[in-house]
Amino acid sequence: MQITFIGHSSFLLDDGQHRVVIDPFIEGNPKAGLTLDQVKARQPQTVLISHAHGDHWGNALDLAAGGASIIGTAEIAGYAQKQGAANALPSNIGGTVRQPWGSVYFTPAWHSSSFPDGTYGGMPTGMVIEFGGKRLYFAGDTSLFSDMQLIGDRGLDLAFLPIGDNYTMGPEEAGRALDLLRPRDVIPMHYGTFPVLTGDPQVFAREAEQRGVKVHLLQPGETLDY
């Protein structure tokens, strides 16, 4: 499996047959490592949305216009359908959506959620994603919360954790999240894109290494063979 860091909290997963984009904030992202046209050229079949904020919803509708399905909460899928996305699949926290590439199970996330036009976006979520023979946890935007231990009980290969602080966990709290989640590997995200996101990835890397978790510090546009 290849994991390409588009930038901010946006990733492209590719197992050689299927391509899934998570939280496609591309246009308007000052540190995007791929253009929207480059992502479209990969022909993703699915877009997973953790919550409705503009830096996560991003270019979901543009990718849907190219044939990708949008999967998110009932509010996110309903909004997408009203905006013309024919193939939007609603789910919610505790639910699993199964697809030809694997599955996505929605978890809680402690945050807020509204679309750029002010429409309520439902509960924010994290996601446990089965893809490429691996179990991935994408935390979305969240604080540390004790039920991460239950997510970790599923047995995680890789976690994607926000570390930027101000709107989400900072690097130290994200380190404590590793104690609960217990992944083998971790990728930090949601830092450095805007001045207010001051979380230091080197601080987080030390937190992860102290816990025996391998950290992958990806630059926008970089691809990890996993």
How far is residue 1's CA from residue 25's CA, in Å, rounded to a whole number?
Answer: 22
Q: Where are the domains of the chain?
A: 2-225
Query: Per-residue pLDDT tens for 118-148?
Result: 999 999 999 999 999 999 999 999 999 999 9
Helices (H), 43-194: 54-57, 60-65, 74-82, 148-152, 171-181
Give the pLDDT confidence score for residue 144 in this predicted structure.
98
Domain 2-225 has CATH 3.60.15.10: yes
How far is residue 108's CA from residue 200's CA, in Å, rounded to a whole number?
Answer: 25
The CA angle 104-112-178, to the nearest 5 degrees, is: 55
Give the pLDDT confidence score for residue 177 in this predicted structure.
98
Give the pLDDT confidence score for residue 41 in this predicted structure.
98
Residues of the chain with pLDDT under 70: none
Q: What is the pTM of this model?
A: 0.98
